[in-house]
């Protein structure tokens, strides 16, 4: 696949190792701009169609395997005996190794369990269902803020507002800090070369460390206070553990749902029949949820090979990096026929939008709630909308794929 060169090239190309068969090599760079206006999902579809094997290898980003076949992708995400979560981001240097400081995503079973329980206790269905009215209320407030104007920048005015402001309330942090925190979070998932990764980590720690120490011993009900006072393995978290856990939560909470919403609404803007079906029959919104999630996965996870292993017809060496993208699972025709189509009536629907196994996304209940409330409140108030005249859709690849900011318009 052809790749364009960004203004600041973060790539680190390497020579093909001897254990990589020549017909496995593909020119694929996750962090390069997506060419020709393709979406991330079309980009992955092209890779899948060109793959000569179920597992390919790219020299970009330090060199890493790319798993194409859905069942093998799911194995990589769930088999912690062979595929470690110690490093989950490519390239290993400098991004992956920097991010491996944060927990529990970088821990394997059984070490990860006590820390994962802390996140589960804060983001489980019981806790998230309490937010229904708050999510709905903020959605209405944002929509009514621009509805009479007949247009908005969906990403800036809505997608980057609702989920991150809800998350900032969960952790009881001031909304005026959002631009800084969102910028830092984005440098892990879509690095632009404007800051060194050790500086990203330092700025996160400089910000969150004093807040956690201040909330030690506090009785607040926010997520950061509960993490500052949590226990793991029968003892209080250390300051470093609390920082690592909190930074992990911030990175996850400030990015993924933003991009899911952008993909869903960019799709609705150019698909009149689907949009009108949902607007005219709100009962079908619930029915649409699983297909939206199936159609628009955005995360490309990776794992570190723990020991030499024969896998997917190739020999992987210890410390090799292997990518198992959730997009590859959903976009493969063996998973979902006509995978790019949106279909209410799929008899089978295979996807791993929230990941698989021990590291299934702890924020999945919040993401589902936010998507449902946004669709409900938006379509009740702005049932007819379209891409603004002169607007075209462009997309950015990365660990979390996104739709670049776009304008919507509607008749007032």
At which residue do the structure tokens 């021990």 appear? Answer: 358
The model's pLDDT over 253-279, given as tens digits with 9 standing for 90+, comes to: 888 899 999 999 999 999 999 999 999
pTM (two decimals): 0.92
Give strand pairing partners of 315.
310
Contacts (Cβ under 8 Å, ≥6 apart) of 271: 342
Contacts (Cβ under 8 Å, ≥6 apart) of 40: 34, 298, 327, 395, 396, 397, 401, 402
Q: Does residue 100 register a pLDDT over 90?
A: no
At which residue do the structure tokens 């930074």 appear? Answer: 247
Q: What is the pLDDT of residue 189?
A: 81
- State how far the Cα of 269 lies from the Cα of 65, in Å rounded to an integer: 36
Mean pLDDT of the chain: 92
Q: Does residue 10 register a pLDDT over 70?
A: no
Average pLDDT over residues 223-230: 95
The model's pLDDT over 108-159, given as tens digits with 9 standing for 90+, comes to: 999 999 999 999 999 999 999 999 999 999 999 999 999 999 999 999 999 9
Question: Which fold does the domain 22-409 belong to in CATH?
Answer: Cytochrome p450 (1.10.630)
Q: Does residue 198 register a pLDDT over 90?
A: no
SS3 65: strand
CB atoms within 10 A of CB 185: 23
The model's pLDDT over 229-247, given as tens digits with 9 standing for 90+, comes to: 999 999 999 999 999 999 9
Q: Does residue 7 register a pLDDT over 80?
A: no
Q: What is the pLDDT of residue 3?
A: 35
Q: Does residue 355 register a pLDDT over 90?
A: yes
């Amino acid at each position: 696949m052809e790749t364009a060169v960004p203004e600041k090239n973060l790539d680190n190309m390497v020579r093909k190792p001897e254990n990589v068969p020549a017909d496995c090599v593909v020119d694929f760079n996750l962090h390069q701009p997506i060419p020709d206006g393709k979406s991330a999902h079309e980009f992955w579809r092209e890779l899948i169609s060109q793959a000569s094997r179920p597992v390919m290898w790219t020299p970009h980003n330090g060199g890493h395997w790319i798993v194409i076949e859905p069942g093998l992708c799911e194995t990589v995400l769930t088999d912690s005996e062979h595929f470690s979560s110690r490093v989950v981001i490519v390239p290993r240097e400098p991004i992956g190794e920097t991010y491996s400081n944060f927990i529990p995503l970088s821990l394997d079973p059984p070490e990860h369990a006590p820390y994962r329980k802390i996140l589960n206790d804060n983001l489980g269905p019981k806790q998230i269902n309490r937010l229904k009215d708050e999510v709905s209320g903020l959605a209405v407030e944002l929509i009514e803020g621009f509805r009479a104007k007949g247009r908005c920048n969906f990403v800036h005015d809505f997608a980057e507002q609702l989920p991150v402001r809800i998350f900032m309330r969960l952790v009881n942090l001031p909304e005026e800090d959002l631009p800084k925190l969102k910028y830092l979070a984005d440098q892990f998932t879509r690095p632009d070369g404007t800051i060194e990764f050790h500086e990203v980590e330092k700025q996160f720690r400089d910000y969150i460390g004093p807040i956690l120490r201040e909330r030690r011993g506090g009785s607040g009900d926010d997520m950061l206070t509960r993490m500052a006072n949590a226990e793991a393995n029968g003892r209080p978290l250390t300051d470093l553990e609390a920082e690592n856990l909190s930074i992990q939560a911030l990175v996850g909470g400030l990015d993924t749902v933003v991009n899911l919403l952008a993909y869903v609404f960019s799709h609705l803007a150019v698909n009149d029949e689907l949009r009108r079906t949902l607007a005219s029959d709100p009962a079908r919104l619930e029915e649409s949820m699983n297909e939206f999630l199936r159609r628009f996965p955005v995360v490309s996870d990776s794992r570190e090979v723990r020991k030499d292993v024969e896998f997917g017809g190739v020999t992987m060496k210890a410390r090799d990096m292997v990518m198992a993208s959730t997009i590859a699972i959903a976009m493969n025709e063996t998973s979902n026929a006509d995978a790019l189509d949106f279909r209410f009536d799929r008899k089978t629907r295979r996807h791993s939008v929230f990941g698989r196994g021990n590291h299934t996304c702890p924020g999945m209940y919040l993401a589902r709630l936010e998507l449902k409330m946004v669709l409900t409140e938006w379509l009740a108030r702005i049932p007819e909308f379209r891409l603004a005249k002169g607007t075209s859709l462009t997309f950015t690849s990365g660990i979390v794929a996104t739709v670049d900011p776009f304008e919507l318009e509607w008749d007032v």
